[in-house]
Amino acid sequence: MKESLFIINHQKTWQELENILKEYNSGNKKTDGDTLHRLFDLYQTVCGHLSIARTRYGNTGTVDYLNNLVSRAHQAVYTSRPGSLQSVAHFLAKGFPALIKREYRAFLLSAGVFVFGFLFSFLTVLYWEDYALSFIPAEYVTAVRNLSGNTGNFNFAVASVAIFTNNIRVGIIAFALGITFGVGTVYVLAKNGMILGAMAAVSAKAGTDFVFWSLILPHGIPELFCIFVCGAAGLTTAKHMIFPGLHSRRKSFSAGGKKSLMMFLGTIPIFILAGLTEGYITPLPVEPAYKYAAALVWLIVLTGYIFSGKKSILSAK
């Protein structure tokens, strides 16, 4: 491709990046989360253009211009600015939901791996109950079988708390193992899905499933949402490692890691609120129906939170 045609084809992209950098550096108005994400995407794209221009055209004015543009964009993307409670609140209110919608494919894949593990162990134990011990310890099986309407009979230390109070650790591992090209992330998601599926099957066989789910869902819905997001963060890292596109693998990994880290950090407040739910709602000696109501509230709140942004999932990039 001739250099003049290369410029014509990509000039619109370069100008858009110029405009965003001008707005970002002006200080006259606050740059919203969508604009920052667009800045990041354009930075990656123009880095690819610079690499192509250097290879094809050598030391030309186009290369000098792109080098300058990429340098300014790099400074805007990677130079830390003083943080504030207001910026954190803005990220949690708008930036994090927008990021989840933007990476919805990774989120759905993460949830799908977990659900696959859940269904595999659930159906296996439902038809061959002796295999329950292949997925969960014997004390879990005993605790779930002995459930009754009186939650005082439920050994939280052995079962529910033992499973879900470590979900922050599970989330961290699912996120961190993205560097294994996603293999470790998939394993963690599938394994935890199988644990829950086996316990659900045991409760179904024992006729204690109504009580079992009333003890799981109030805190399980937000915690599982966080795990799916952490898994999506790990898979996003893996995607940038496996498919670097026009960028070097190192640069692509750096870009994916930054995005994944923001996804993980956004789950921390939800993990904390889920822990409070587990500590104060789950153990209450009330009818299971009230706990199902609490779980429904969590589901509505999370759904509204994620879909409250400007863009729908179908229009996310």
Calpha distance 235→25 (Å, rounded)? 32
Q: Is residue 232 a part of any domain in this protein?
A: yes
Among 78, 99, 116, the domain boundary falls at 78
Q: b/e per residue, 164-180, with b = 16+ CB within 10 A?
A: bbebbebbebbbbbbbe
Task: Name which of 142, 166, 169 is nearest 154 in CA terms.
Answer: 142
**Which tokens sit at 269?**
């407040």
217 Cβ contact partners less than 8 Å away, ≥ 6 residues apart:
291, 292, 295
Which pLDDT score is estimated for 73? 84
Instruction: Specify if 71 maps to a domain.
Output: yes
316 lies in a domain?
no
Check residue 84 and give its pLDDT: 58
Same domain, 128 and 153: yes
Is 8 a member of any domain? yes
Residues 177, 291: one domain? yes
**pTM exceeds 0.85 for this model:** no
Same domain, 221 and 266: yes
CA distance 79 to 154: 51
Which parts of the chain sit beneath pLDDT 70? 1, 26-34, 36, 78-85, 148-165, 309-317
Residue 79 has what pLDDT?
61
Q: Are residues 231 and 251 in the same domain?
A: yes
Residue 313 within a domain: no
Asked if residue 193 and residue 97 are part of one domain, the reply reads: yes
Contacts of range 222-225, beta carbons closer than 8 Å, 24 or more positions apart? 222/270, 222/271, 222/273, 222/274, 222/277, 222/298, 222/302, 223/164, 223/167, 223/271, 223/274, 223/278, 224/114, 225/267, 225/270, 225/302
Domain that holds residue 62: 3-78
In this structure, the answer to whether residues 174 and 53 fall within a common structural domain is: no
Q: Are 219 and 281 in contact (CB under 8 A)?
A: yes
- Residues 227-246 have pLDDT tens digits of 999 999 999 999 999 988 77
Residues 143, 155: Cα–Cα separation, whole Å: 6
Domain-embedded: residue 315: no
Final residue of a structural domain among 36, 53, 78: 78
Are 62 and 113 contained in the same domain?
Answer: no
The answer on 267 and 118 residing in a single domain is: yes
Domain annotation covers residue 304: yes
Q: Among 22, 56, 78, give the residue marking a domain's end.
A: 78
Structurally, how many domains does the chain consist of?
2
Token reading at 100: 């989840």
Give domain status of residue 61, yes or no. yes
Tell which phi-psi region holds residue 247, choosing left (phi > 0), alpha (psi between -120 and 50) or beta. Answer: beta
Both 122 and 240 in a single domain? yes
pLDDT at 83: 52
Q: Are residues 152 and 264 in the same domain?
A: yes
